[in-house]
Amino acid sequence: MSAEASSRRHLLDGATRVFLGEALFFPTGLLVVAFLTRRLGPEGYGVLALTMAPVLWIEWSVAALFSRATVKLAGDAEDWRPVGAAIVRLHLAAGVLAGVLLAAFAGPVAALLGEPALAGYLRLFALDVPLMTVIHAHRGLLVGTGGFRPRAVAAAARWIARLLLIVALVEAGFSVTGAILGNIGASLVELAVVRSAIRPPLLGRAPLNVGPLWTYATPLFVSAASLRLFDRLDLFVYKALGASTELAGIYGAAQNLALAPRIFNVSLSTLLLATLTQMLRIGQGRAAADLSRDAERFGLALLPLAGIAAGSAPELVGLVFGETYAPAAPLLALLLFATIASVQMSIATAVLTAGGKPGWTVWLAWPLVPLAAAGHLLAIPRFGAAGAAFVTSACAALGAAACVLAVRRVWGVAPPLATLGRSALLTVCAYLAAAAWSSPGPWVLLKMGILVAGVVAGFAALGEVGLGRRPPAWRVLLPDSGLYGSVSGPRDDLDRAPQARPARR
């Protein structure tokens, strides 16, 4: 088996395992959301959504300070232990500091949003911040060192524990507090699993020059923090401009359901970064560029799936949340496309980081925050929640387009326009078919499954999938073989891929 084939099979194995582990977020997350929206009601769920938004932003931002840098450096290193020791201790220190600051500013945040009870919930949830940052450190080390199996087991354990703990505690009468404690308990379960798989020392001095770490960590932190702030900015601005807690709960429900496709971010982009890093390290620049383009094509292939879910939004909202949350349906339809755009941005960030251009991710991410803020301030007073969702989706689409152009500039590759055209056509058809086909209750899941099969058949009929060439989603993962020909599109520019840094001897 060639080195390129081995790299692709390694990515396939890792992506499959991690995807299956993280995919449990979808059924367990739906059950959690369905349970909480009914038990807490729109107002109680609104308080929970407002509590989770800043906590999740802080956790992902702190984790982003080192997470992709961890994968990059652990993948480059011959011995991960010095990297691991430094990484986990920096995560722990940053997490403790962030948790303390969140607890200290909980009161002003609650006052800003007009919810006094929010302060106590934020202080309680602050306990989860150092736990999650240390977990992210271990996740990065596992991916960087090829530990895909324990990474997948840890994800599965987290989502199952989260479901069981939240249901048990809320049913016991702890309400919003029970939901928060359930999340903290799930973090403890995942931490135990990852520590059983890889154990960098938590205390002591790490014998590592952290200069290269900061070279990657600083721009990636700014980029990821900007993207996470952009993700939740609509809910905060909507509430700050006078929306009631009940309306915020409805918007938060749509926002959380729209996040389901984010499992592709976790299962693909980080593993893509690790695989590209290894390929560049051994001199496979052309193959790495080929893989990068195919990953972007995979992101485009997800658009028709968003069309199916958007057309089915009223039935999905009724099934998951109940009729009380019916106004969330049009919001969900818009926010789903923002999530698909975020998947494309995540793929591009991984490709740029592997190519030694982490600084580019900053310039692609931070402008989204002021652009979206200005859009929200203009649209929300006039159009309400629909204006917030539209601004978020439009800005995300612009960000995804900018990321594709950046990858083309650095790597010299881009997804073919023909793939974009086919995906756009199938997205429109999928949306119209889903909207016209009314399937209330659980039957909506069967309808969506049939339409997904129709999308695959549509790609085949349009020439994107066939015996003569591989579909983009498969080519990202499968090695070259005699069963498939080459992917259509220009290949003469692939030798211009960024050069890997020399491996340390």
DSSP string, 133-195: HHHHHHHHHHHHTT-HHHHHHHHHHHHHHHHHHHHHHIIIIIHHHHHHHHHHHHHHHHHHHHH
Distance CA(39)–CA(177), nearest Å, equals 13
- Distance from chain centroid for Cα 303: 16
Per-residue pLDDT band for 158 (boundaries 50, 70, 90) equals very high
HEC string for 281-302 = HCCCHHHHHHHHHHHHHHHHHC
> Exposed/middle/buried for 498, CB within 10 Å: 0-12, 13-18, 19+?
buried
Report CA dihedral (373, 375, 378, 383) to the nearest 10 degrees.
Answer: -110
**What is the phi/psi pair of residue 321, to 5°?**
-100, -30
Residue 274 has pLDDT above 60, yes or no: yes
Distance CA(7)–CA(30), nearest Å, equals 34
Residue 474 has pLDDT above 60, yes or no: no
Per-residue pLDDT band for 310 (boundaries 50, 70, 90) equals very high
Say what percent of the chain tops pLDDT 90: 37
Q: Which residue has the tokens 């938060």?
A: 252
DSSP string, 460-474: HHTTSSBTTB--HHH
pLDDT of residue 421: 92
Break the chain down into helix, strand, coil percent, rounded to 5: 80, 0, 20
Distance CA(231)–CA(395), nearest Å, equals 10
Q: What is the mean pLDDT of the chain?
A: 81
Q: What's the mean pLDDT in 7-20?
A: 62
Residue 122 has pLDDT above 50, yes or no: yes
Return the ∠ at Cα 328 (arms to 323 and 331), rounded to 5°. Answer: 155
Per-residue pLDDT band for 221 (boundaries 50, 70, 90) equals confident
Residue 48 has pLDDT above 70, yes or no: yes
Least confident of 11-25, 162-176, 215-229: 11-25
Least confident of 90-104, 210-224, 283-297, 354-368: 210-224
Q: What's the mean pLDDT in 201-225?
A: 66
Q: What's the mean pLDDT in 452-468?
A: 80
pLDDT of residue 288: 84
> Exposed/middle/buried for 12, CB within 10 Å: 0-12, 13-18, 19+?
middle
DSSP string, 323-356: GGGTTHHHHHHHHHHHHHHHHHHHHHHHHHHHTT
160 residue type, one letter: I
Per-residue pLDDT band for 468 (boundaries 50, 70, 90) equals very low
Greater model confidence, 355 or 153: 153
Distance CA(451)–CA(239), nearest Å, equals 36
Distance CA(422)–CA(30), nearest Å, equals 30
Residue 225 has pLDDT above 70, yes or no: yes
pLDDT of residue 416: 85
